[in-house]
Amino acid sequence: MNEPVFVAGIGAISAIGNNIAENLNALLSETTGIGKMTGLDSVHRDQLPVAEVKMDHQALASLAGLPEGISRTALLSAVAAREALGSAAIPGFGKLRSGFISANSVGGMDRTEKFFIPFMENNQRGRLRDVVHHECGTVTELVADKLGIKDQVTTISTACSSSANAIFFGARLIRNGLLDVVVAGGADSLTKFTLNGFNTLMILDSALCKPFDENRKGLNLGEGAGYVVLVSEKLAATLDQKPICRLSGYCNANDAYHQTASSPDGTGSFLAMSGALQKSGLNPADISYINLHGTGTQNNDIAEGTAIKRLFDPHYPPMSSTKAYTGHTLGGCGGLEAVYSILAIREGLIYPNLRLETPMKDLPFRVQTRLQRHAAVEHVLSNSFGFGGNCTSLIFSKA
């Protein structure tokens, strides 16, 4: 309908790898990144498995080329965003109109926690203004400076759909001729704050999560970042390397049901998926693979599954949740899973939904359990649904 927006580069860091190549290897070897907590200093260390990036703060700072004193969220963001921009290899980038649209939900909470330990004992020992990296926006600014992007820099914070929203907002800025190139995605680091919070909601699995399994017990938290480099058709035509794929559809809708729970029939999820299909001009039957939001909670998986049934019945494309590999990376998952969706197109892959034992009884379809190579993957639907009822679906298509 409008002029297309192409994906010229991708970057990722997660519990299954510090770059695209490592992530892809782990996806192919079916190696999960979820395990015993080693980096995070929490009382739940032995009870709650998490999906940590396998690098301590110091090593990560050095990889990111940033000082150690800043938030882990910013470090993860910088690593993946820089890889994305590097892989796009856009000549004369500095002369183009560029944007950095980034998302996160915890901001600099990891640093804030360090500040708070002495503060809680004696409130004379800390001041609010010392929590300089706390704001979600600061994380974005730090990384934008590092990338040398100035024209449009902004932060989206809509819980677990944040970075999917960043990606389609970036695409719109290009479509409207405001920018030539946008680095878009998001990041979140593991913090005690989110771990304890999700624990009080009683939706953390004390074993490895089992998305879309009848006996699923909840999610495992993870950390990571994923970014895409979006370019206009005009710019894509001037590049030496062919674009990886294009972003052909997207839609955001609100479930308008509850602060955190999805509506039983997945109204918001249905509206997001059907809106994205409509935008792309595709039919449900055109979708080659769905990268599910699939957190592993009772509530998400049945709501998402019900919405899929309503939209796709009776012909279901292969689908899986890669959160069984990476855990739930919150503000980062939309970006990370966009990257996996793009890799599915580039490499012809359908990822397995690890650890599935018993398919959900109330759903008429089964998720993919075996890795499929050399698949004809034309169009991938990627779902990201967040607290606050914020539901987003993206569709990536072969260029």
Partner 1 sequence: MTPATESYITATTVICRNKVIQNGREILNLPEEDLPGFLLAVYRNLEVQYPKFHKMDLLSKMGWLAAECLLDGSSLNQRVSPQRIGVVLSNANSSLDTDLKYFETTRVMASPALFVYTLPNIVTGEICIRHGFKGENAFFVQEEFDADLMQQYMSQLINNNILQAGICGWVDLLGQQYKTVLFLVEKEARGLAQPFNTANIIKNFTTENG
Partner 2 sequence: MVKLMSDLKSQIIAQLNLQDVKPEEIGDDQPLFVDGLGLDSIDALELIVLLQQEYKIKLSNAEDGPKVFKTVRTMAEYIKAHQAQNA
The pattern of x and - marking residues 75 through 114 that bind partner 1 according to CB under 8 A reads: ------------------------------x-x-x--x--
Residue 362, both tokens:
């109330």
Q: Does 73 bind partner 1 (CB under 8 A)?
A: no
CB 262, min distance to partner 2, A: 11
Site for partner 2 in 298-357 (CB under 8 A): none
Site for partner 1 in 185-244 (CB under 8 A): 193, 196-202
Query: How many Å apart are CA 22 and CA 28, to the nearest integer?
Result: 10
Our answer to whether residue 328 is catalytic in this structure is yes
What kind and span of H or E run contains 188?
strand 181-188
Which of 134, 136, 245, 293 is flagged as catalytic?
A: 293
Our answer to whether residue 44 is catalytic in this structure is no
Query: How many Å apart are CA 53 and CA 15, to the nearest integer?
Result: 4
Q: What distance, in Å, lies between the first and last C-alpha atoms of the chain? A: 15
CB 351, min distance to partner 2, A: 30
The pattern of x and - marking residues 164 through 183 that bind partner 1 according to CB under 8 A reads: -x---x--x---xxx-----
Q: Does 258 bind partner 1 (CB under 8 A)?
A: yes
Mark out the alpha helices in the chain (DSSP H runs). 20-29, 57-64, 72-88, 109-121, 136-147, 162-175, 192-200, 233-238, 267-280, 298-312, 323-326, 333-347
Nearest by Cα to 339 from 7, 31, 88, 55: 7
Site for partner 1 in 363-392 (CB under 8 A): 386-390
Our answer to whether residue 160 is catalytic in this structure is yes
Q: Is 15 exposed, middle or buried (0-12, 13-18, 19+ CB in 10 A)?
A: buried
| CB of 132 closer than 8 Å to CB of 215 | no
Query: How many Å apart are CA 334 and CA 161, to the nearest integer?
Result: 6
Which does residue 320 touch among partner 2, partner 1, none (CB within 5 to 8 A, set by kind)?
none
**Unique residue bearing structure tokens 């938290």:** 221
Q: Does 215 bind partner 2 (CB under 8 A)?
A: no
Identity of the amino acid at 333: C
Bond prior to 243 in cis (omega within 30° of 0): no
Q: Does 29 bind partner 2 (CB under 8 A)?
A: no
Which of 134, 136, 209, 328 is flagged as catalytic?
A: 328
Query: How many Å apart are CA 19 and CA 25, to the nearest integer?
Result: 10
The pattern of x and - marking residues 109 through 148 that bind partner 2 according to CB under 8 A reads: ----------------------------------------
**Unique residue bearing structure tokens 């999917």:** 164
From 17-25, 248-256, 258-266, 357-365, give the range in contact with partner 2 by CB under 8 A: 258-266
Which of 133, 136, 160, 251 is flagged as catalytic?
A: 160
From 206-214, 222-230, 246-254, 313-321, give the range in contact with partner 1 by CB under 8 A: 246-254
Which does residue 135 touch among partner 2, partner 1, none (CB within 5 to 8 A, set by kind)?
partner 1
What are the angstrom distances between the C-alpha of 15 and each of 266, 268, 287, 342? 29, 29, 28, 19
**Unique residue bearing structure tokens 């580039």:** 346
Q: Does 43 bind partner 2 (CB under 8 A)?
A: no
Q: Which residues would be at the binding site for partner 2 (CB under 8 A)?
A: 200-202, 258-261
Active site residues: 160, 293, 328
Q: Which residues would be at the binding site for partner 1 (CB under 8 A)?
A: 105, 107, 109, 112, 116, 120, 128, 134-137, 154-159, 165, 169, 172, 176-178, 193, 196-202, 251-260, 267-268, 271, 386-390
